[in-house]
Amino acid sequence: MPTTPLELARVAALAADSKKASDVVLLDLSPVTDVCDYFLVCSGDNARQVDAIVDEVREKVSANCDVSPLSCEGREGLSWVLLDYGSVVVHVFRPETRDYYRLESLWADAPRVELDLG
């Protein structure tokens, strides 16, 4: 049985949280755009942590949902890495880059999904 976009997003959120990602936010974009269903946004304190979060998300989503990202952008700079799973897009930021782009503000009309992370 295929994984729903929400299930995939929750697996990705748990994976990010397990690598101590900060400020993990899941936005439900389905009511406001047809670009994708969910944005998962989180931060890593430094390049090494961003890299670890991205690796963990890829590994856990692959293992639990049997899905690989359609694309992965930003891996060389590690200030904003984007994992595109089609219906779910994962954004892993360094804090200063996240502050600059303010995705949550751009998509302020998108409802936040409660994640209940430890």
The tens digit of pLDDT for each residue in 4-48 reads 999 999 999 999 999 999 999 999 999 999 999 999 999 999 999
- 100 burial via Cβ count (<10 Å: 0-12, 13-18, 19+): exposed
pLDDT of 82 over the 80 cut: yes
Kind of pairing between the strands at 38-43 and 88-93? parallel
CA distances from 71 to 27, 82, 86, 113 (A): 20, 8, 9, 24
Give 38-54 pLDDT, tens digit per residue: 999 999 999 999 999 99
The pLDDT of residue 1? 62
The confidence band for 84, taking pLDDT boundaries of 50, 70 and 90, is very high
Adjacent-strand bridge partners of 72:
83
Q: What mean pLDDT comes out for the span 70-93?
A: 96
